[in-house]
Each structure stands twice: as C-alpha cells, then as structure tokens.
Amino acid sequence: MKSKGQSRSSKKEKRHASEIENFAPLENKTIILGVSGGIAAYKACDLASMLRRNGADVHAVLTPNAREFITPLSLSTLTRNPAHCEQYGQTENWRPEHIDLAKKADLILIAPATADIIAKLASGICDDLLSSMVLASQARVMVAPAMNPNMLNHPATQRNLDILENRFRYEIIPPEFGEVACGDVGSGKMAAVESILASVAARLLVHRTLSGKRVLITAGGTREPIDPVRFIGNRSSGKMGIAMADAAAGRGADVMLVSTVEVNRSYPVYVVETAQDMQETVEAEFDGCDALIMTAAVADFRPLRVSSQKIKKTESEDLVLELTKNPDILDLLGRVKRNDQIIIGFAAESEALLSNASQKLKRKNLDMIVANDITVPDIGFGSDDNAVIILGADGARENLPRMPKRAIAEHLCDLLAEKLSEIEKAPVS
C-alpha cells in the first residue's frame, strides 16, 4: 500500500520526468563531438549524453588515438547514433564521410582537444576523419583543450591556439587550473562538462539574438558615372558589408542589403550604383528598420554633368571634370533617427584615425563608428581581413586586432544585439 508521502513524491517525480523530457533547448541542432586522444576522452561520454539529453542530434567522431581511451561503442550508445572513426569509411550515400558529416553540423565541438589536434587545425593538416571534417565544414568549431600544463604553455601550442582564436568560426573553451592526470598541477585540465555544455548552448542559442529585428546594411563602393563607359569609384569590394549582412542574418535578423556588388543570398539584396541610388533605397527602408549599418564607401562627389556620349580624346593635354557634392546619407538619417533605432557608421581614414572618426560619430549622430586605417597594407579595402577601433557614442572604445571581416561582423552583431536589448528594456517615456 502507498503512503500519502509516497504518492506525492511519485507525482512530483512524474512531473519532473516530463519536464526533463520536454527540456530540449538544443533541439534541431546537429553537433559533431570530436574526441581526440587524451585521458579526458572519458569525459566525452558525459558530454555526449548531456548534449543528447538537451535535445541535440550528436554524432561522435573519434581520432585513432581517442580509441585508445574510449570505445566507439560507448559513444554510439550514448549519442544513439553511429560513432565515426575511419577516414575512408563508407556512408549510406555516395558522399565521402568527412564531407557528409561536415555538411550536417551546426557546430563542431572538439573535447578533449589535444595539442596534436590543435596543431593540425591551426596548420590545416587533415590526416584523419576529424581534422578532414573540420577543414571541410563551414560550421562553428569549439575547442576544449586538455593536456599537460607544460604542453599547453609550450610556445608552439600557444601560437596554435592564438591562430585558432583569431580565425573566424573558432572558439576556445579555456582549460581549467588543477591537477591533471599525470599528477602535474597547472592549467590544462579540460573545462568542466557543464561549462562546456553552457558554452555550446550559449553559442548555438546566441545566434537568434537579432531575431525579429530589421537590419539595413550597405555594402560596396558607389560608382559615379562620367560618361557611358567611365565612372569615379573607389576600392571597396563589398566584403565587409556582405559579412555584416551574413552575420546578422545568421542571428535571425530580417536583413536588407543595399549593395553596389551583386551577391546571391536568401535575404533581399538591392543592387545600386550611385550615391544617389543608395540614398533613395536606404531612405525608403530606414523608417521600418531597427538598425542601419553603413559599411559602404559612398563617393562624396560626383561629376556635375554626365556626358551622354563617350568623351573623346582632344588636342588638349587636360580634361577638367567639374564635381558636385553628393548627399551624405548617414548625416541625413542621423538627423531623423528615432530613439529606438541604432545607426552604425564606418570611417575609412588615412590620418588622424581616432579624432576624425570621433568627429564623424558626433556630427552624424551615430551610436557607434567603426574606424579603420586604410593606409595599413593588406587590410581594409578588398581584403578578407581588417583591424578596427570601435567607438561608441557613450564613450566606449574597443580595439579589434587584425581578424577576418566576418569575425568583426560577428562582434558588431553582439554589440548591436546588446544595444537593441537595452532599448527594449528602457522605460517608455
């Protein structure tokens, strides 16, 4: 016979069980759990189980050395999916296994990550299934190092970690301080599985931080026609703006890209040519937007008269073009910006970077300006990388060293999401 207490507790247990059953924050997320060969590999079993219980579809990939520590059977049982080990293994379809897995992943988590796999990732070596799959994937890669403290502190490992940290897509989950398996004490213990799980969840869920927000982004350099064949242009390739638009779209924003460069994306792209075209399109969309990000290099001047015929060579040595001022799109929109809108401008400077950028920040009534020194070779215009200083209207200042434009864009999305959430929380006046 059940006592009263027993029946109460079994009800509670049932409710608890159903809450646990329905708790699946990582539902619809495919995570590749890469396991490399260190003693912390045994913790990958807990991790696999936790990720699965949080709703993720987990596929384990073991390096040959990882198999010295745990078996594929443990991981396939815990993930409820086959565990993968063979670089040249057979899949159900025609695609090689590393490509198949690479395409599946929303996130690749390598835990534990030994000095060896970190070195391979940093240098692009792909001599096993895990390293090949990472190279073939476009997914974010989170790396949880675990090794002897001397191995971690070795300049080679530190350099490799630096390379990964500064590479778009990669994130290091720092190891902890403590006693490691060999008895040495120091930094090198793999982060606790709970904290790895929290980092994974934060990374996968943070991507929706701009969900429901309309973000208008400009990209590329305007072209101001002189005649039917010539124009005044600049060196902007549109890469920064496109990276910005991709990053915002990845976080769930309703993105509109106004670009001088044609690009095929799932979000709307309005292709424009001149500053006036860009002004017209941006002005038409601005009112309905939560944020405007102007990465475009807009020509400040255009030819006063556009010749309808190709201008011919003349006897004279000189050709004088008369220019007239273009509208300053940001300046105009900064004046009509509502309190619930955020405007981020970019400043391309060849001298007095900070003072020129901060003047533009104030004059154009921006919330943030991203200043880049365009005299530094190999970054800025046309390059995949940039190094910038972000200035905020609130006095904030942040230096981002050279990194891929997409990584800069991801960081700006973090800042934008924070600003928009502050606006949402602010009392309505």
For ligand PMT, the closer CB: 99 or 374: 374
Question: 214 CB contacts (<8 Å, ≥6 apart)?
Answer: 253, 254, 256, 288, 289, 290, 291
Annotated catalytic residue, options 45, 182, 289, 413: 182
For ligand PMT, the closer CB: 166 or 195: 166
For ligand PMT, the closer CB: 213 or 364: 364
CB of 228 vs ligand PMT, minimal distance in Å:
24
CB of 295 vs ligand PMT, minimal distance in Å:
5
CB of 38 vs ligand PMT, minimal distance in Å:
40
| Token pair recorded at residue 136 | 């073939």
Strand partners, 250: none
- Determine the Cα–Cα distance for residues 24 and 36; give it in Å rounded to an integer: 27
For ligand PMT, the closer CB: 204 or 242: 242
**Contact (CB, 8 A) for 382 and 237:** yes
**Contact (CB, 8 A) for 376 and 385:** no
CB of 375 vs ligand PMT, minimal distance in Å:
12
Annotated catalytic residue 182: yes
CB of 337 vs ligand PMT, minimal distance in Å:
13
Distance of CA 323 to the CA centre of its chain: 40
For ligand PMT, the closer CB: 114 or 222: 222
CB of 223 vs ligand PMT, minimal distance in Å:
13
Contact residues: ligand PMT, CB under 6 A: 220, 236-240, 275, 294-298, 300, 326, 328-330, 345-348, 360, 372, 380-382, 386, 405
For ligand PMT, the closer CB: 170 or 346: 346
CB of 428 vs ligand PMT, minimal distance in Å:
30
State the catalytic residues: 182
